[in-house]
Amino acid sequence: MKKYSINNKSDIIEFKGTLLSHVSSRQPEKHQWTEILIYKTEGGKYVVHRIGNSVRYHVPEEDGGCETREGRLVSGDEVPSDFIPCPTCDPEACHDDDFLLYDYIIETPLSSADVADTPSDVRKCLLLGNQLTGLAYSALQEAVRKDQSLLGALHRRVWVV
């Protein structure tokens, strides 16, 4: 079994276990996407890990840019080539000729995780409102292939009278 360390906001969740599934909603034209990973720990619990990715970058707020979610300050030559300029503060137009002389904020991934004791808790961790999103459903579907006991989390019983 592999040892994993997962960031849950300011905590780090550590365990030995197996990765059951890893799905991503990434699409080439989108600057934001989500990843869901489901692990089973050596003790038989589950860890549901969500990563919110973004490849957008901004002008820092103090230089007239927008207020951003979590990010990292980098110099102009450190902005990764696949990053997309924010349409609101428009870093490329803002520092047109001397782009490399300025600093920018690149958005960094947001990572959160839940520990679930049972398959039905795994389902609860994945719900958005009252629904499983398409991505959450694929994550469960993939996990079921490696762990049949999760089948109950994929299909809910609904009693109709």
Burial 5-18 (b: 16+ CB within 10 A, else e): ebeeeeeebebebe
Using CB under 5 A, pick the residue from 37, 58, 107, 136 that binds Zn ion.
Answer: 58
* 65/92 Cα distance (integer angstroms): 12
Kindly state whether residue 13 participates in binding Zn ion, applying the rule CB under 5 A: no
Helix (H, G, I), strand (E, B) or coil at 50: strand
The reply to whether 106 sits near Zn ion by the rule CB under 5 A is no
How many residues touch Zn ion under the rule CB under 5 A: the total is 5
Task: Identify residue 88 by its one-letter amino acid code.
Answer: T
What is the sign of the dihedral through the CA atoms of 155, 115, 12 and 40? negative
CB of 35 to Zn ion, least distance (A): 23
- 50 vs 56, which CB is nearer to Zn ion? 56
C-beta of 28 vs 87, nearer to Zn ion:
87
- Among 62, 32, 64, 34, CA closest to 48: 34
Nearer to Zn ion, 43 or 64 (CB): 64
Q: Interface with Zn ion includes 89 (CB under 5 A)?
A: yes
Beta carbon nearer to Zn ion, 19 or 66? 66
Residues forming the site for Zn ion (CB under 5 A):
58, 66, 86, 88-89
